[in-house]
Structure 1
Amino acid sequence: MQTSDKQAAANGRPTRDSVDLSAYPGLVVVYLGFRVGRMRGLKALLGIGRGLAQMQRERPDGLLAHENLVYGLNHIGMRQYWRDLESLEAFTRSDPHKTWWRDFGRDPAGNGFWHEAYRLSGGMEAIYVGMPRPIGLASFAAARQPLGPFMTSRQRLAS
């Protein structure tokens, strides 16, 4: 703690800190949300919750931090910090994520899902599935269908 921080703490004032991200040049921050739209969607949410608990225990390679968030009574989410896009992609292409996404695509059970990704090195991207109204970047940016060269997170980040 620097002298000014020690003095601030001694005077009961909060200390100020920041972070040095130079060790994480490929850092990707992802916000995710899951909105329950129907009662039967609670079952899907419970299944995802178990998988998320497992993920937090086992910590896939590249996951630096995971924080749970609450957006509303029927809308939960998380913020994740990944070492790099390659680690995030490896996780999304493996179980349990691959199975969650496949199952959700087959039957969203009236639920909505979204994510937004931000790269320290530049670029932002988002996907929204079954959300009743715009949220996040979609609340002000023009909608675009995730087709062709805009299909994957990596492709959207490069756009």
Structure 2
Amino acid sequence: MVATLTHAYRGDVVVFQIGMTLRKPHRPDLWLPVAAAMPRMLGELYRNKAQAERGVAEDLGFLGGVTLLGAKGPWVVQYWRSAEQLYRYASDPELAHLPAWRSFNRAARRNPGGVGIWHETYAVPAEGIETLYANGAVIGLGAVAGTEPVEKRGARARQRLGSSPS
């Protein structure tokens, strides 16, 4: 019998994808500082998540993320509770993102075209999410927020999309 699961997260989710393109791979002096900034930010976000779960820090809203490597460079798919929390994190001068963003902009003005960055934000209502993880293949939302038996939302994709968790 194949174990079939769906995500256990209750609520809307914001999917935030962010990545970099190596426009001049032969110039690590241009792209390495950009590449090094993301692990610092992710470390900060995961530390906050753990502290918030213990009740010793305000929850920033970060659920988790998955780091990937594509043909044009690395990217991270992140899951957030709300766009407001994502934007609050991005604009807080006391946290890692804003200083990294300012540093990138200064470097990009000095050496245009060395490295590109991009991001996409998707605000997904709970009833617009359908997931299936079979035989141990748990990734994405299921990996960051947990899973539950697929029957809780329906045996077929059409049933799960638009369903409310029981």
| TM-score, normalising length: structure 1 | 0.58
Q: Does 1:51 align with 2:41?
A: yes
| Alpha-carbon displacement from aligned partner over 1:43-89 (angstroms, at most 9, x marks no partner) | 332243333333333336100112111113x6111111000111111
1:139 maps to none
Q: Does 1:62 align with 2:61?
A: yes
Q: Is the 8 A contact 1:32 1:114 kept in 2?
A: yes
1:78 maps to 76
2:136 maps to none
1:33 maps to a residue whose letter is G
State the aligned residue count: 107
Aligned partner of residue 17 in structure 1, secondary structure: strand
Identity of aligned residues (%): 25
Deviation at 1:96, TM superposition (A): 1.0
**Quick one: distance in 2 between partners of 1:55 and 1:20?**
21
Q: Which runs of 5+ in 2 are unaligned?
A: 50-58, 127-166
Q: Does 1:30 align with 2:39?
A: no
Q: Which runs of 5+ in 1 are unaligned?
A: 1-7, 9-13, 123-159
2:142 maps to none
**Quick one: distance in 2 between partners of 1:31 and 1:47?**
15
**Quick one: distance in 1 between partners of 2:74 and 2:99?**
20
Higher RCO (C-alpha under 8 Å, 6+ residues apart)? 2
Deviation at 1:20, TM superposition (A): 4.8
Q: Is the 8 A contact 1:36 1:42 kept in 2?
A: no
Q: Does 1:19 align with 2:7?
A: yes
